[in-house]
Amino acid sequence: MTAEPAAPKSKLILASASPRRLALLQQAGLEADALLPADIDETPHKGESPRALAVRLASEKATAAAKVRSAHDDLKQSYLLAADTVVAVGRRSLPKPETTEEAEECLQLLSGRQHRVYTAVSLINPRGFERKRLVEARLRFKRLSSMEVDAYLASGEWRGKAGGYAIQGLAGTFVVKLVGSYTAVVGLPLYETVSLLAGEGYPVLQPWFAKA
C-alpha cells in the first residue's frame, strides 16, 4: 500500500519586526516562518477615534504584507498576522514618539491619569479572507515625579513605543492599575490571536505536543 503524502506544514507570517510581538507568539508556542514588516503611514485621519485607528492600521499592515506574500510562491498559502497598538487619553491618540520632546509630552499626559490601550489584530488566511479583533485595556499611571520622567526619558525605552512607554519594561513600575489583557498592552493579545488562528484552521496546539 502506498503511503499518503504528508500534509504540508501550515506557515505563519508575522507582518511586524517587533521583538515583543515575536516573543509573545513564541510564548504561545508559535513560530513565525517569515517576518514581513509593513511600512505604512500611521498618521491618524481627521476625527478618527483611537479604536478606529488601531483597527485601520492593523488591517493596512496586513494588506501591505499580503501583497508581498503573493510574490513568494512558498508563502502564498500562509496565514498572515498583523497588529497595531494605540494608546489614548480620552479621544486623543498618542504618538509613537521618536523624539524626547514627544515622549515627555506623552508621559505628562499619562501621569496620574487613566488611559486606554487599543490593540487590533488582523489575520488574513490562505484564501485571502481577513478577520479582525480589537482588544481594549484600561490602565492608570501613578503621578510621575520630574525625576522619574527624566530617568525614563534617559533610558530611551520609550522610543517608537505606543504612548511613549513599554509596560514590559521599566514603565511597568508606573502602572497602578490594569483592567484587561496584559499581552494586548505589550502588543499582541494572545487569547484573541490564538482564537483567530484556530478559528481559521491553523494548528495552534500542534507545536505544544513537540514540547512533551
Q: What residues are labeled active site?
A: 84
- The Cα 70–Cα 161 span in angstroms is 30
* CA-wise closest residue to 20 among 129, 96, 110: 96
What DSSP string runs through 54-94?
A: HHHHHHHHHHHHHHHHTT-TTTTT-EEEEEEEEEEETTEEP
List, in order, residues 6 or more apart from 192 with CB less than 8 Å away.
121, 133, 135, 181, 184
- The Cα 212–Cα 210 span in angstroms is 5
C-alpha angle with apex 12: 9 to 18, nearest 5 degrees?
A: 150
SS (H, E, C) 132-173: EEEEEEEEEECCCCHHHHHHHHHHCCCCCCHHHCCCCCHHHH
- The Cα 120–Cα 49 span in angstroms is 13
State the residue for C-alpha cell 481594549: 136
